[in-house]
Chain A
Amino acid sequence: MTLSVSGLSTERSGRIILHPTSLSIEPSARIGLVGPSGSGKSTLGHALIDDLHRQGRIVAHVPQSPDEALDPLRTMRFHWHEAEAALGLPHDAPRQQQLFSALGIAHGDLRKRPWGWSRGMQQRFVIAMALIGSPELIVLDEPTSALDPVVAADSMDLLDRFLSGRQTAMILITHDLALAAQRVSQLMVMDNGCLVEQASTSALLNTPKTKAAKALSAHRNWMPHPC
């Protein structure tokens, strides 16, 4: 079922940081949300998640760094059980095993706390946790910026493989157009709190229409990128 939101906006201390925005997201869509830092990408992502939650949809969020997703005082097992309980699901060991193997963390010791795992494994754990309830949409907020490029690429590959053939749509928030170009089929460009351009990845890269898209396209980093 298509997810749609309309009139999302955010104000902080009297300043509008997200102008009214409407979106619709098809099942299995792969969307990149790009734009310079401070353009309101993460704000749109948060507003989108909160609005869809209010609509009763299952939407998952993967923050930029595992530090923003995991409590250092709690064990990995605690996080997992808590995430299941939050969705009203009973503990399901086979589902856990399936997600862990899909993301390559089946060997992780769940009795440990987050800092007992490598950052790459923590990030994959967060992604696995996001997939528990078979969400309709997973929003990844700069998922690779806190990881080294090789680890980040592995995580993205594993996620891609897991999502292929499923209904879950994905929004990848990034300021890195090169990363987005490899992972998504549609791009949305944010600038100054507004969604200024929306097109297929190839169309936007080849014929950017707005100033923001042109700037991103011109300054993109086409150096060999592992992810």
Chain B
Amino acid sequence: MIRSILSLLLRALVVVSGASIVTFILLWNAPGDPALAIAMARYHQVVSADVLDQVRNEVGLDAGFWSAFKAWIGPLLAGDFGKSTVTDREVWPELVTAMSYTFPLAMLALVCGMCVALPLAILATKHPGSVLDRAAIGMASLGAAIPPYWLGLLLILLFAVYLDWLPAMGALSTTHMVLPALTLGLGVTASLTRIIRSGILDAREQAFLPAFRRRCVLSRNIGRDHIAPHATIPVITVFGLELAFLLEGLVMVEVIFGRPGLGSFLVNAIEARDFPKVQAVVLLTALVFVVINLIIDVIYQVIDPRIGEHDA
């Protein structure tokens, strides 16, 4: 047990540090002149070569890869995310602010998605092939096929422009969260509905179930005690992957709806080559992934300890 926990933590460490280092290398070697991007972001105008040299010197771009790497990783190991190369302000407080916009939105999308997907999938599987089942599959396919950037624009057109029910841009109030959450939630609902439905249908085909019926166990109890746990395993697996798609969707949705969350934070940082900010987002995302996967591994251990017992 201790060995498997240690190996999980080791794996987590490798993922987080690997992601950060690879991003650093990629950013450093990205085409274009980072000094120019930074200067543009700072002064919003074309600048002279002298100013560029000054920026290069300030940010440490002229000192070479290794010294820049050391200048970044040294403070990071002490928990310091550094200062923005554009505004010279600490990255951490700004990151916290961005998170305070993004996490509630992500949670809302996930919770709404789950609340719709679970009953929908359970209803659909009551009578496989029925109209309701087909409608659920249709909705799931549609949800998977519509990209969030397109759906977001459609929702803005409908609810903000034509009907004028909801605000389109910004994050001033909770009503501002409705359209972005709907945009993200549809994709989440679609994939969760699909996976819960097939999870339940597969779990119902377990070879041991007829024996339980012949043992006179009530079908309600069979559903709760035997079908549900078996259906949970694929759902948990997909839930982890779902998070990846959710983060990807978040970046676009926040930019479309003009929300000051992690997505906008990241896009602005990349455009301005604000290395410390990009690095902070990457590190944070990697951490979130690792933590979610750790939780999933623990849930696996509870439901079915056989999963991963050979490679843990």
Residues in chain A within 8 A of chain B (CB atoms): 46, 49-50, 53, 60-61, 63, 67-74, 78, 82-83, 85-87, 113, 115, 129
Contacts and interface: CB of A to CB of B under 8 A. Distances in A.
A164 to B, nearest CB: 24
B225 A49 contact: no
Interface of B: 206-208, 210-212, 214-218, 221, 225-226, 229-230, 303-306
A143 B208 CA distance: 15
Nearest to B214: A61
A49 B218 CA distance: 16
Contacts of A68: 207-208, 210-211
B226 A129 contact: no
B155 to A, nearest CB: 41
B214 to A, nearest CB: 5
A61 B226 contact: no
Nearest to A114: B208
30 contacts: A46-B210, A46-B214, A53-B214, A53-B216, A61-B214, A61-B215, A67-B208, A68-B207, A68-B211, A70-B208, A71-B208, A71-B212, A71-B225, A71-B226, A73-B229, A73-B230, A73-B303, A73-B304, A74-B225, A74-B226, A78-B225, A82-B215, A82-B217, A82-B221, A82-B225, A86-B215, A86-B216, A86-B217, A86-B218, A113-B305
| 6 closest residue pairs by CB, A with B | A86-B216, A69-B211, A86-B217, A61-B214, A73-B229, A71-B226
B216 A115 contact: no
B110 to A, nearest CB: 25
Contacts of A87: 216
Contacts of B226: 71, 73-74
Nearest to A49: B214
B211 A72 contact: no
Nearest to A63: B211
A51 B108 CA distance: 51
A68 B215 CA distance: 12
Contacts of B212: 71, 82
A19 B225 CA distance: 36
Nearest to A71: B226
